[in-house]
Amino acid sequence: MKILVPVKRVVDFNVKVRVKADQSGVELANVKMSMNPFCEIAIEEALRLREAGKATEVIAVSAGPAACQETLRTALAMGADRAILVETDVELQPLAVAKLLKAVVAKESPGLVILGKQAIDDDANQTGQMLAALLDWPQAVFASKVEIGAGVATVMREIDGGMETVEVTMPAIVTADLRLNTPRYATLPNIMKAKKKPLEVLKPADLGVDVTARLKILKVVEPGKRKAGVMVKDVAELVDKLKNEAKVI
């Protein structure tokens, strides 16, 4: 069984994001970019399934500009076998990504696609579910444990009130939540080896997909600032402020 893992290149989670003065978006020039953290977890899970003999090949795929090759090299350095870049400079929205991924699935016939639950830039939390719908596959999203059985996957997932275990028929879509695993670091020798692993580059047109954006971003602004607070010297003052000033207790 092949496992396909879509990985997104995003602004590193440690970067303090700034809005552009013209309100057209956030500042991306000279900002550190990394693999979306949930995608690292997705790669790690795929690697563990391969190491456990449940999968034969792990293929990382990314859609976006040429710079996504770096993200794919990171996936290869972690241990993915090969990579596919669907290269485009068009700003991709989740529906377009899902359509591109559907076409890649048609080419590769994986038994499982593991995505991140959410990209930390757009915070959309859509792509995996959309891909599942386009393929008419079942989904197990927000996974914190994945077990592969005969023709089925049993997935424990995080829900609002606690945990839920679902069984899905394969092929299936899984999206990774934070507690699924702790991703490995790429070691230096593996980073070197990754440079020689195959990385195929395709264009949306090769896949017959129209990636035109459906949503128009009218403006992007900074969030409202909270008014400055005060420091209190002790518990007594805190209780007094909460009672008599804020009137919340």
Partner 1 sequence: MAALVVAEHDNTQLKGGTANAVTAASQMGGEVHVLVAGSGAKAAADAAAKLAGVTKVLHVDASHYAGGLAENFAALVVGMAKDYSHIVASASAFGKGFMPRVAALLDVAQVSEISAVESSDTFVRPIYAGSAFATIQSSDAVKVVTVRSTGFEAAKATGSAPVESAAAGPDKQQSKVISQELTKSARPELAGARRVVSGGRGLASGENFKMLESLADKLGAAIGASRAAVDSGYVPNDYQVGQTGKIVAPELYIAVGISGAIQHLAGMKDSKVIVAINKDPEAPIFQVADYGLVGDLFQVVPELTSKL
Ligand X SMILES: Nc1ncnc2c1ncn2[C@@H]1O[C@H](COP(=O)(O)O)[C@@H](O)[C@H]1O
* Contact set with ligand X (CB under 6 A): 6-8, 36, 38-39, 42, 62-64, 92, 94, 97, 115-116, 118-119, 122, 124-128
Report in angstroms how near the CB of residue 247 gets to ligand X at its nearest: 40
Could you tell which of ligand FAD, partner 1, ligand X, none binds residue 21, using a CB distance below 5 to 8 A set by kind?
Answer: none
Report in angstroms how near the CB of residue 233 gets to ligand FAD at its nearest: 16
Amino acid identity for residue 146 in this structure = V
Pick the closest to residue 176 from 48, 45, 56 (CA basis).
45
Could you tell which of partner 1, ligand X, ligand FAD, none binds residue 67, using a CB distance below 5 to 8 A set by kind?
Answer: none
Report in angstroms how near the CB of residue 177 gets to ligand FAD at its nearest: 10
Burial of 149 (C-beta count, 10 Å sphere; 0-12/13-18/19+):
exposed
Joined tokens for residue 143 = 């996974």
Binding positions for partner 1, 154-183, rule CB under 8 A: 154, 158-169, 177-179
Block residue for tokens 């939540």: 177
Per DSSP, the residues of 46-100 read HHHHHHTTS-SEEEEEEEESTTHHHHHHHHHHHT-SEEEEEE--S---HHHHHHH
106 part of the interface to partner 1, by CB under 8 A? no
Could you tell which of ligand FAD, partner 1, ligand X, none binds residue 236, using a CB distance below 5 to 8 A set by kind?
Answer: partner 1
